[in-house]
């Protein structure tokens, strides 16, 4: 066990590249600035997903622009020039003091959350975007919008971004005027029509937790049905492939930040499909890197190709397990 | 207005076929046997969806096999030899006396409903299937399973069907030993992998209400987000096309029973995609038929082809409206 820990430790300084020199990026998902240092130590090359919910939860007053800015800049500074992807507020739960006009919804996961909430509370949204834009003046910050189901919502979010830039300019504050914009692909409709978003964005980021949830109509927080929440369902694999293909065809970068990205069993498959950035809990990055460094891109492509032929989640799982075992990649 | 009513009335005796003689079937969605007669008068050629929830709701005791059988046979007899598609219990709401062990679920639409509920309460499920099989001895009854997200669930449902047949045999009861089995395609994963189900089923039936709901992650019962519930979203059209293509390639019949099937604006499109059976509220059938009889299959195919090139729900809507207007098909 110790030997294994040590081996994974040593990996943290080596690049995430295949035996034949194909390089991908490993990034960390974080909730707090305090997680950055340890993430970098575990081999993260930046922050692939900074969730901003903690800034809003458990308090009575809205976090101000300056307060948010301070937190975002902290993340930027701790990452030392590496990229930081910030997701705008993605709230889906019981009502909070800021969203008082929110009605009770019988199915909150299918309700006013993510970008829908952002666009319903424009002032809260604009304050957050302004803080993110300002942090962008201090490093390589990108912004990403959650729960987009159609191009129109993304356009509206970008209009807000432009409005925020205008206001910052008028206020004479420093900000990044060319911040990269990402689409968080987590609604099946966005995955199915991924290519339609290309002209509007700089990068794709696949959020598999929600994508699986909607694609299979399974609330994974419900104990009675969560065994049905299978990321390796052939339908999910087809959607992931569709997004990656759309990114490739349009020359955009494509990342994944759902749990699937941190699951070593899926690494060969995702690598073979053409995923460029794996964003996951920092603790899982060394294992992901180990898998990547153990294979060639050609092998990974072969695995992806064969996995896509299979017709049941269990078959895909068994096949990937077998491919891992045959390479002595156990976890 | 009266002239228009009369015209639609006269239509009820004419076949639902295009000007160049391509014939489709119009069927009725019903909740009660009492609706059959009026549905037939409005031109329904059978029952495309008999919802069985009303048999279970608002009562303290389970409906017995004989009681259910009596209702199903009533529908069969009233349809006079035409086909009747019965959907097994699709319950998604607050707890009922029969499902006492059901826990509260935060998102019931993503929870234990449809086939998941059926398979969780096997005895209730088997009683219903036995009643359906017995009704099959008196007419052309087909059974259809709701909320299937993977092939394995369908197989389990079919195992129950076989078990029910075995029991009926032992009990010496009459039943249909070769009842047709349908897949209700309403979860995106089933639509995305439609061809994988072909060897297991006799027909496909696309349930657009839920399919749209999951594909777009929108609860249409929630006032705050239901404007996002757009059946003409390009992603939905692609899924519908995928199911129809899978049906064609496997030689299976394909129907649609969601609201989209009863929406005249979508008729040209669905006809052009290759839909064979339109199942809707009886009141909308005359209008659907009028559209079908006004065009050639070739024109419909052209409309479908062009609609699929469009990139926003609103564009699709405008395009279809324009095609309707240019043919003087106003509703
Ligand atoms: Mg999400
Ligand atoms: Mg349904």
User: What's the CA angle centered on A167, arms A163 and A168, to 5 degrees?
Assistant: 115
* Mean pLDDT for chain B overall: 94
pLDDT of residue A103: 63
pLDDT value for A61: 84
Q: Please tell me the predicted confidence (pLDDT) of residue A331.
A: 59
User: Sign of the CA dihedral A117, A122, A126, A127?
Assistant: negative
Per-residue confidence (pLDDT) for residue B55, from 0 to 100: 93
pLDDT of residue B185: 98
Question: What DSSP designation does A57 have?
Answer: T
Q: What is the mean pLDDT of residues B5-22?
A: 86
What is the reported pLDDT for A9?
Answer: 73
Kindly report, residue by residue over B68-80, the tens digit of the pLDDT. Answer: 999 999 999 999 9
What distance in Å separates the CA atoms of residue A314 and residue A317, rounded to the nearest whole number? 5
Give B182-223 pLDDT, tens digit per residue.
999 999 999 999 999 999 999 999 999 999 999 999 999 998
Is A193–B235 a contact, with Cβ atoms under 8 angstroms apart?
Answer: yes
Residue B32's pLDDT band, with cuts at 50, 70 and 90, is very high
pLDDT tens profile A79-135: 999 999 999 999 766 556 666 656 678 899 999 999 999 999 999 999 999 999 999
Q: What is the tens place of the pLDDT at every residue in A170-184?
A: 999 999 999 999 999
Q: Measured at the alpha carbon of residue B214, what is the angle toward residues B212 and B215, in degrees to the nearest 5?
A: 65
**A198-223 confidence digits (pLDDT tens):** 999 999 999 999 999 999 999 999 98
Ligand of minimum distance to the alpha carbon of A217:
2
DSSP state of A109: G
Which pLDDT does position A58 carry in this prediction?
80
Are B48 and B85 contacting, i.e. CB atoms less than 8 angstroms apart?
Answer: yes
Q: What percent of chain A has pLDDT over 70?
A: 95
pLDDT at B13: 83
Q: Residue A128's pLDDT is what? A: 98
Q: Ligand 1 center to residue A207 CA distance, Å?
A: 6
Query: What digits encode the pLDDT tens for the residues B236-245?
Result: 999 999 999 9
> Residue B265's closest CA among B323, B328, B205?
B323
Q: Which of A74, A202, A71 is nearest to A145 (CA)?
A: A202
Does position B101 have pLDDT exceeding 60, yes or no?
no
Closest chain A CA to residue B214: A214
Distance B2 CA to ligand 2 centre (A): 35
- Quote the mean pLDDT of chain A: 94
Q: Across the interface, do A149 and B217 touch by the CB < 8 Å criterion?
A: yes
Ligand 1 centroid distance, CA of A186 (Å) = 6
| Cross-chain residue pair B111–A222, CB shorter than 8 Å | yes
The confidence score (pLDDT) of residue A94 equals: 58
Q: Give the pLDDT score at A60.
A: 80
Name chain A contacts of B103, Cβ cutoff 8 Å. 223-224
Confidence of residue A155 (pLDDT cuts 50, 70, 90): very high
Q: What is the pLDDT of residues B139-190, one digit of tens each?
A: 999 999 999 999 999 999 999 999 999 999 999 999 999 999 999 999 999 9
Crossing angle (nearest 10°) for helices B151-170 and B122-135: 70
Average pLDDT score over residue span B108-117: 93
Residues B146, B262: Cα–Cα separation, whole Å: 19
Of B108, B188, B311, nearest to A215 by CB-CB distance is B188
Q: Mutate which of A92, A188, A316 to test chain B, going by most B C-beta atoms within 10 A?
A: A188
Mean pLDDT of B17-36: 98
Which tens digits make up the pLDDT trace of A245-295?
A: 999 999 999 999 999 999 999 999 999 999 999 999 999 999 999 999 999
Cα–Cα dist B103/B94, whole Å:
10
> Would you call B235 and A192 a contact, using CB atoms and an 8 Å cutoff?
yes
Of B222, B223, B233, the CB nearest to A107: B222
Residue listed under structure tokens 């959607």: A239
pTM for this entry = 0.96
Q: Is the pLDDT assigned to residue A162 strictly greater than 90?
A: yes
């Amino acid at each position: 066990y110790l030997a294994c820990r040590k081996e994974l430790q040593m990996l943290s300084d080596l690049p995430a590249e295949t035996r034949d020199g194909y390089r991908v990026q490993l990034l960390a998902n974080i909730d707090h600035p305090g997680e950055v240092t340890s993430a970098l130590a575990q081999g993260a090359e930046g922050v692939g997903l900074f969730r901003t919910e903690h800034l809003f939860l458990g308090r009575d007053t809205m976090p101000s622009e300056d307060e948010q800015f301070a937190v975002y800049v902290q993340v930027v500074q701790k990452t030392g020039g590496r990229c930081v992807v910030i997701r705008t507020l993605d709230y889906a739960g019981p009502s909070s003091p800021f969203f008082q006009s929110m009605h009770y919804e019988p199915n909150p996961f299918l309700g006013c959350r993510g970008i829908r909430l952002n666009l319903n509370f424009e002032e809260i949204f604009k304050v957050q975007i302004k803080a993110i834009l300002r942090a962008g003046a201090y490093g390589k910050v990108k912004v990403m919008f959650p729960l987009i189901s159609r191009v129109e919502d993304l356009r509206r979010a970008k209009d807000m971004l432009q409005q925020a830039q205008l206001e910052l300019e008028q206020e004479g504050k420093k900000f990044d005027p060319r911040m990269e914009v990402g689409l968080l692909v987590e609604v099946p409709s966005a995955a199915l029509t991924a290519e339609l978003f290309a002209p509007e964005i700089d990068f794709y980021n696949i959020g598999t937790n929600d994508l699986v949830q909607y694609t299979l109509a399974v609330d994974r927080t419900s104990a009675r049905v969560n065994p049905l929440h299978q990321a390796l369902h052939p339908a999910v694999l087809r959607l992931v492939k569709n997004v990656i293909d759309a990114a490739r065809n349009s020359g955009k970068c494509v990342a994944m930040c759902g749990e699937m990205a941190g699951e070593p069993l899926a690494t060969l498959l995702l690598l073979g499909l053409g995923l460029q950035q794996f964003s996951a809990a920092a603790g899982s990055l060394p294992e992901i890197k180990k898998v990547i460094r153990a294979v060639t891109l050609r092998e990974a492509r072969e695995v992806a190709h064969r996995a896509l032929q299979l017709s049941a989640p269990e078959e895909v799982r068994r096949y990937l397990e077998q491919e891992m075992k045959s390479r002595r990649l156990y976890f």
